[in-house]
Amino acid sequence: MKKIAVLTSGGDAPGMNTAIRAVVRRGIFRGLDVCGVKNGYKGLIDGNFVSMSLGSVGDIIHRGGTILQSTRCEEFKTVKGQQRALKEVEKEGIDGLIVIGGDGSFKGARKLTIKGLPAIGIPGTIDNDIAGTEYTIGFDTAVNTAVEAIDKIRDTAASHERTYVIEVMGRDAGDIALWAGMCAGAESIIIPEAHHDVEDVIDRIKQGSKRGKMHSIIVVAEGVGKGTEIGNMIKEKAGFDTKVAILGHLQRGGAPSAYDRMMSSQMGAKAVDLMVEGEKGVMVGLKNGRLIHTSFEEAVKESHMIDLSLYHLARSLSI
């Protein structure tokens, strides 16, 4: 193994830059040439490679987004697209590829590995929704961003005795909603993994109001449906002054938290070490607080599990 490439793919996440830095610096430390691929799999098809040096990843450890850019590339899902990518990889003399992204990106990386290019994955998505790992890069920063925003909304909710429905990201997973709701003291948290009922939400608001609560915060995961619909239902059924806030893409930006920087640095270095040791077709992950690796097949096959004990705890703490 002489030369490796690194790319970011799918939705961006805070900490991707820190992971790129770790891959490049660890790769050079281990005696490899490292190049970056611009625009994810599209760049692989277009042969859009940039040589990476120790200095090229200077001053990015704290920056959100990804200096390599990221795209979703339909062409790469086809055999023809993958063959075009492999031709460019061969021309460039690349022996291995490190992919920072979500489960879609690992399906692509698995196909490249089967076709002869050893690939290793690093889980990068704010959603924390990949089965083969308890943690994905960007989750902690996104939760902190959501909590900070909810704290601010709580101030104005209290001043006007309002109910606020706050929709957070997470795709089909409720992790961001659960963590942000728990850490911001939401009265109700609505996630796809647990049964929900607007009557129960209204009941909890009424109980709080009886003992003098000035405001209510309901955190809704985007995977459940539209926050506006839930807000309208609460307004219509109970007549509360209800506002809706959709936090949206601000959860994808910002400087990575210390925890995300720590995870990105460790996972980036681990991916390089695995590649040097001859491993391929695996994703780096975290299990029981330790770095592990799982085959792409397993990582994308199992379904992601949320910790429902946290959900029940949050309910019991916000009565």
Active-site positions read: 127
270 binds ligand ATP (CB under 6 A): no
Q: Which of 76, 139, 164, 296 binds ligand ATP (CB under 6 A)?
A: 76
Output the residue with the shortest Cβ distance to ligand ATP: 104
8 binds ligand ATP (CB under 6 A): no
4 binds ligand ATP (CB under 6 A): no
Residue 69 labeled ligand binder: no
Residue pair 8/73 in contact by the 8 Å Cβ criterion: no
107 binds ligand ATP (CB under 6 A): yes
Q: Which of 36, 102, 174, 231 binds ligand ATP (CB under 6 A)?
A: 102
9 binds ligand ATP (CB under 6 A): yes
Residue ranges in 17-46 that form contacts with ligand ATP under rule CB under 6 A: 41
Residues contacting ligand ATP: total by CB under 6 A? 18
Measure CA 319 to chain center: 30
105 binds ligand ATP (CB under 6 A): yes
Residue 30 labeled ligand binder: no
10 binds ligand ATP (CB under 6 A): yes
Choose the binding region for ligand ATP from 51-59, 83-91, 97-105, 254-262 (rule: CB under 6 A): 97-105
Q: Which of 111, 204, 215, 304 binds ligand ATP (CB under 6 A)?
A: 111
Choose the binding region for ligand ATP from 7-15, 21-29, 210-218, 275-283 (rule: CB under 6 A): 7-15
Residue 63 labeled ligand binder: no
- In whole angstroms, the minimum distance from the beta carbon of 112 to ligand ATP comes to 9
Sign of CA dihedral 200, 206, 208, 213: positive
Instruction: Please give the Cα distance from 302 to 194 (Å, whole number).
Output: 19
Residue 2 labeled ligand binder: no
Which residues are documented as binding site? 11, 21-25, 72-73, 102-105, 125-127, 154, 162, 169-171, 185-187, 211, 213-215, 222, 243, 249-252
Q: Under the rule (CB under 6 A), what is the footprint of ligand ATP?
A: 9-11, 41, 72-73, 76-77, 101-105, 107-108, 111, 125, 127
Which residues are documented as binding site for ATP? 11, 72-73, 102-105
